[in-house]
A and B are shown apart, each in its own frame.
Chain A
Amino acid sequence: MTASPNASSSSAPQVAVAEGPVLEVDDLRVRYGGLLAVDGASLQVPRGQAVALIGETSSGKSSLALGVARLLTPSASVTGRVSIDGCDATALTGREFRTRRAGLLGYIAQDAMAALNPVQPVGRQIGELFRVHRGMSRRQASEQAVRELARVRIDHPEIVARRYPHQLSGGMRQRVMIAMAVALSPPLLIADESTTALDVSTQADILALLGVLKAETGAGILWITHDMGVVAEFADWVAVMYAGRIVEQGPVRAIFDQPGHPYTDGLLRTRRDLRTGQPGAPLFQVAGAPPALTSAPRTGCAFAPRCPRASARCTEQAPPLAVTAPGCLVACHHPVGPAGQPAAGLAGGDEEERS
């Protein structure tokens, strides 16, 4: 479940093995110099399930993911507790974490072209994992790399293994990235906008592949995206980030049916307009722009300036994440009520304001 430890677990689907979540993030803070990019985020990824972390650019979703994976530049400071597959990753030294990291988590980057070494054949880049971490010989590693390529459904893997990244299609490169991420069968996969750069049909193929791998290996997936379509198709859980904080989390169905946070509601309304709206009809937009990063934790709710439901209380007191429905957590003083009737009122006002 995506809920923080105090959330009810009754709504967790039965697919999850009762071994505890593969990822537990507790009160994670990421700072770049003086700027606070992630402001105390807590999150869980259950075994064999996908958690979508959504939010706008600079909402802190990538910082959270990279902070978990310890892939941030040394100038960034990370505090909080990260536990992967029951192992307290924050307690490990850099060296200990390095030797274990490929077995703990696989990282799938957004742009596979840039994320693969341009001057090495892809087979060697996959085989490197087995040479370094499994002590295989060059030959064994290259044979293993071919098997890994076959595992991500690449045809003629023995030929592809000898190719360089620039000789492959975008979808193939992303498959190679995935093959590297899952090579040592880590319990956790972190996908950082991994399908954003791909065309729609390739995107669907990659999502299907990840779905199969998730079922095969029982790995949990943390999926960073701003694509609500991907969330609806692929994820089991959603966590919504805004200005460095998680403002809402819960099962995909529940949140898509009944968002609690006005920001989530706005995102979903835009998506609904995109799908069902008349051509030329005005598209619902969340008014205003996301706030700039600040150095100190904010007082009050970061969304308040853009929120049609905001009251004086919202600017003074930060709303805590609270259970609204089974498995659902919302950080809002005035959550959107059931059946969307408050949302309709809010949207009307907003549209008038914009027109």
Chain B
Amino acid sequence: MARTLIRRLIYGLIAVLGVAVLSFLAEFVVPGDPARAIAPRATSAAVLENIRIQLHLNRPLIVQFGDYFTALFHGNLGTSYVQRQSVLSLIAPRLAATGWLALAGVVAEVLLGASLGLLATLYPRVRAAVSALNLTLLAVPQFVVGLILLLIFGFQLHMAPVTGGAGPAEIVLPALTLGLAGAPWYAQIVADQLSDSLSSAYVRTAVAKGLTDRHILRHHVLRNVLSPALTMIGMDLGSYLSGVVTVEVVFGWPGIGLLAVESLQNLDRPVVMGTVIVGAVAVVFFNLVADLLRMYVDPRTRQEQA
């Protein structure tokens, strides 16, 4: 167990580092001059040059690379070009906002998806309707779902705020959008696992033991269904935390995805880097947590101790 954990942590670190290096280089491929983005429109060449010197943009790429990663290994994500604040202090509140949204989104998609999957398995009559709904939800892009929800519940029914922000009232629609977009996957996995499990030999054994349907569902079926869903929950939490860009833009949710978009537009390289690295860490972390949970739930995925 401990060895698996250490190995996975090392792999994760390599992955995060790889992502950081690639996105650092990618930023230099993006056309545009950060100095111009920062400076007012009509600025003299001398002032621009001055800004470049201040931001060390005049140095060779390799030196900037070295500087950035030396600072990164000291836990320093740098300072925003635009806001003159440390990247960490910019990201922290945004990460919290996105965290809440990711959590609410995962809860919504799991609840919706599991209900749909249960319905489709236990009531064959609604199976066709459920798969049609699944297909529709899969086919419609996330931002369209978001806009439709916003139009109906925000502008028409005035049940939800339309102005953006990060509060309990504002979270409902973006979370629902994530939930609707993610639900078909969970519906499918729950329906598949459930029907596999219900027709399995171990459920027959449980019936032969004279257990009630309810007992069998709770003690023999549920855990076998849960295990693959856990992996997906982990992946979703990670990827949502790394920025649900479209949803945050549509609803004006001040999360890390919105921050990434803003800072990309401003060519605010340190902030872009910060959001990318934090996102990569989130993905790695939640995948690891999901795998650990899965090992707990399903003993077959544990490695045999020598």
Sorting the interface of chain A by its residue count into under 10, 10 to 19, 20 to 34 or 35 or more gives 20 to 34
User: B residues within 8 A CB of A129?
Assistant: 209-210
Query: Measured between C-beta atoms, what is the minimum distance from A168 to chain B in Å?
Result: 12
Does A20 interact with chain B (Cβ within 8 Å)?
no
Contact B227 A98 (CB under 8 A): no
Contact A117 B202 (CB under 8 A): yes
User: B residues within 8 A CB of A164?
Assistant: 299-300
- Bound-complex Cα distance A164 to B300 (A): 8
Contact B211 A116 (CB under 8 A): no
User: A residues within 8 A CB of B200?
Assistant: 114
Given A99-B210, A128-B209, A164-B300: A118 in contact with B202 (beta carbons within 8 A): yes
User: B residues within 8 A CB of A289?
Assistant: none
Does A223 interact with chain B (Cβ within 8 Å)?
no
**B201 in complex: contacting residue of A100, A109, A181, CB < 8 Å:** A109
Task: Indicate with 1 or 0, residue by residue over B194-205, a CB within 8 angstroms of chain A CB atoms.
Answer: 000001111011
Within 8 A of A (CB), among B190-237: 199-202, 204-212, 215, 219-220, 223-224, 227
For B302, the closest partner residue in chain A by CB is A164
User: A residues within 8 A CB of B208?
Assistant: 69, 71, 101-102, 105-107, 181
Contact B219 A128 (CB under 8 A): yes
Chain B's interface: helix, strand, loop or mixed, by majority?
helix
- Bound-complex Cα distance A156 to B78 (A): 61
- Bound-complex Cα distance A164 to B297 (A): 12
For B216, the closest partner residue in chain A by CB is A117
Within 8 A of B (CB), among A174-192: 177, 180-181
User: B residues within 8 A CB of A143?
Assistant: none
For B222, the closest partner residue in chain A by CB is A119
Contact A114 B201 (CB under 8 A): yes
Contact A114 B212 (CB under 8 A): no
Contact A118 B204 (CB under 8 A): no
Does A166 interact with chain B (Cβ within 8 Å)?
yes
Contact A118 B300 (CB under 8 A): yes
Does A138 interact with chain B (Cβ within 8 Å)?
no
Given A116-B202, A117-B202, A119-B227: A100 in contact with B210 (beta carbons within 8 A): yes
Given A98-B212, A132-B210, A132-B211: A116 in contact with B298 (beta carbons within 8 A): no
For A129, the closest partner residue in chain B by CB is B209
- Bound-complex Cα distance A69 to B204 (A): 11
Given A98-B212, A117-B220: A180 in contact with B205 (beta carbons within 8 A): yes
Within 8 A of B (CB), among A103-117: 103, 105-107, 109, 111, 114-117
Query: Measured between C-beta atoms, what is the minimum distance from A273 to chain B in Å?
Result: 34
User: A residues within 8 A CB of B219?
Assistant: 120, 128
Query: Measured between C-beta atoms, what is the minimum distance from A328 to chain B in Å?
Result: 32
Q: 10 additional contacts, CB 8 Å, given A98-B210, A120-B219?
A: A69-B208, A71-B208, A101-B208, A105-B208, A109-B205, A119-B297, A119-B298, A132-B210, A167-B304, A180-B209
Write the residues of chain A forming the contact surface with B, with a CB cutoff of 8 angstroms: 69, 71, 73, 98-103, 105-107, 109, 111, 114-120, 128-129, 132-133, 164, 166-167, 177, 180-181
Can you identify 20 A-B contacts, CB atoms within 8 angstroms? A69-B208, A71-B204, A71-B207, A100-B210, A101-B208, A105-B208, A107-B208, A109-B201, A114-B201, A118-B202, A119-B223, A119-B297, A119-B298, A119-B300, A120-B219, A128-B211, A132-B210, A166-B300, A177-B205, A181-B208
